[in-house]
Structures are given as C-alpha cells and as structure tokens.
Amino acid sequence: MEELVRDSNAFIRPSPSGGSLGGVARRTREAMLLTEAAGFDVILIETVGVGQSETTVAEMVDVFLLLLAPAGGDELQGIKRGVMELADIVVINKADGDLKAAATRAAGEYKGAIGLMRPKSKNWRPKVLMVSALNKIGIDKLWETIGKYRNARGVDTELAEQRREQSVAWMWSELGDSLMSRFRAHKAVAARIKQMEADVKAAQIAPTTAAEKLLEIFLEK
C-alpha cells in the first residue's frame, strides 16, 4: 500500500461500509464504474472482513479471492462454509519465516476442503496459493492464476453471463436499499419505530406483527 499511494498509475479510494451488510458500501458498484470510465483496467475491492454477508461483494466482481493468514492448524473452524464456496482463489499470506510451515499446513487443509465442495463453475476449480506480501513471493503466480481464471471462465461466455446475473442482483439490491431508506424516512413510521422496538423487546408484540403494523403505516395513503 505504501508503494501504491505513490504510484501515478494507481488510485485508492477508502469507502466506509456505513453499516451496509456485505462488507462493502452501498455505492461501491458506482465507484467501480467511475474508475473503469477513468481508464483503470484492474479494480480491487477490499471488504471489511470474512463473514456470511460477503455474498454481496461476490455479486459485483469477476473473481472472488479469499485472503487468509496462517494460524494454529484449525483455520477451517473459523471460516464460514458459505464464504469458502464463494471463493474462486484462496490465498494464504505470510508464507515466510516462522509462519511458512503453518502456511503450508493451512494450504493443504484448504485444498482438501475445496476438493469436497461443488465448484461454482464447470470450467474452473478453485485454487489454493501461498504468498508472502512482505517478501513479494508468489505474487507473480497469483496474477498468472487470475489470468488463467479469466480465460477459463470466458469459455462458453460463462463470465459474460455472470456479469449479466450481477446486473440483475444490483437492481434488486438497489431496490431493497431504496425502499428501506424511504421506509425509515417516512414520518409516520419514524414516529412509531422506537415504541414498536420497545414493545418487541418487552415481548408485548411479536416481531412479525410489529413489522406488519409498520408496513401498514408506510402503505397508508
């Protein structure tokens, strides 16, 4: 990162999630379009972390790369299966020095786990790689693997179809976000939300009933 901020060919834009689920901000997709229009041909989206809501970022990128650090041998216990199934490439970082042996063990465990999962693509089997960002080891191989992924997914226009599906997901995501924003901004709803939340906490009303009542208020003419 220290080198990239000084590189005139790179542009870095912090984008706080602002409470949005999925590890990315609501307008991340628009930011991607702007950077593409500005001439940048490689765009990296870094999420806030590993979690079940990472499906959002998988719906806006060509390749989903899961970056992990070696731990004590039970890494798989801390990773959600859903995230593993989304990954096109798993990268174990810090594969150097005292951690190299741990990284090698972790890579073996992930290769075994991925082998038991059904691949997303008929043309690509997820890969597990080891790198050292500090010593710049394995970066070239990672970039080469990303290129192989793009070539493989280009067969039968598979990647193009993925992008079309992502556009549909974008539409529904935007619709959901816009509806929720208008719902919370509705004066009558805003006046009842706090009391309704308190009633739900006190078990005076069922969550489903409270939601239905708030929706009725929102839809009233």
Domains detected in the chain: 4-157 (3.40.50.300), 167-219 (1.10.287.130)
Chain CA centroid to CA 67, Å: 11
C-alpha separations of 34 from 56, 96, 138 in Å: 19, 37, 30
pLDDT at 184 exceeding the cut of 80: yes
pTM recorded for the entire structure: 0.81
**Res 91: pLDDT:** 94
**pLDDT (tens digit per residue) in 86-104:** 899 999 999 999 999 999 9
- What pLDDT, in 10s, does the model give residues 193-205? 999 999 999 999 9
Structure tokens at 40: 């940048």
The CA distance from 127 to 145, in Å, is 8
| Residue range 114-126: mean pLDDT, rounded | 88
For residue 6 the two structure tokens come to 């000084």
Q: What is the per-residue DSSP string for 169-185?
A: HHHHHHHHHHHHHHHHH
Helix (H) or strand (E) holding 96: none
Q: Is 110 helix (H, G, I), strand (E, B) or coil?
A: helix
**What length is written for the chain?**
221
Q: Which residue has the higher pLDDT, 177 or 148?
A: 148
pLDDT of 12-46, one tens digit each? 888 765 555 545 667 888 888 899 999 999 999 88
CB–CB of 170/59 below 8 Å?
yes
